[in-house]
Amino acid sequence: MGADPARIRRFVLSQSLTVTVLGVAVGAALSLLLARALGALLYGVDPGDPWSYLGGISLIVLVAGVASLLPARRASRVDATVALRSE
């Protein structure tokens, strides 16, 4: 109640990117652990290639950030009194 639209957008984006970063951290740790087992399936890529990990992580964070922009914009446009009345 009473927050300006920019603050609401920042809140929604920070919440979604927090979940994304936690998921990426857990996924990267698990993939590093399992990389040796899956190394035989990879062709032309080292199982511990840092550029592959960096590229994959960057792509996931970018897509999650773009995907959370629409809900953030919608949340910042909602009037608080209208939202409370509908509940």
Whole-angstrom Cα distance, residue 86 to residue 60?
35
pLDDT in tens, 4-31: 888 888 988 999 999 999 999 999 999 8
User: What global pTM score does this model have?
Assistant: 0.74
Whole-angstrom Cα distance, residue 28 to residue 15?
20
Supply the mean pLDDT for the chain: 85
pLDDT in tens, 31-74: 888 887 777 777 777 777 888 889 999 999 999 999 999 988 88
Whole-angstrom Cα distance, residue 34 to residue 30?
6
Q: What is the 3-state secondary structure (H, E, C) of the chain?
A: CCCCHHHHHHHHHHHHHHHHHHHHHHHHHHHHHHHHHHHHHCCCCCCCCHHHHHHHHHHHHHHHHHHCHHHHHHHHHCCHHHHHHHC
Look at the block and give the residue holding tokens 């990990």: 53
Q: Is the pLDDT of residue 87 over 70?
A: no
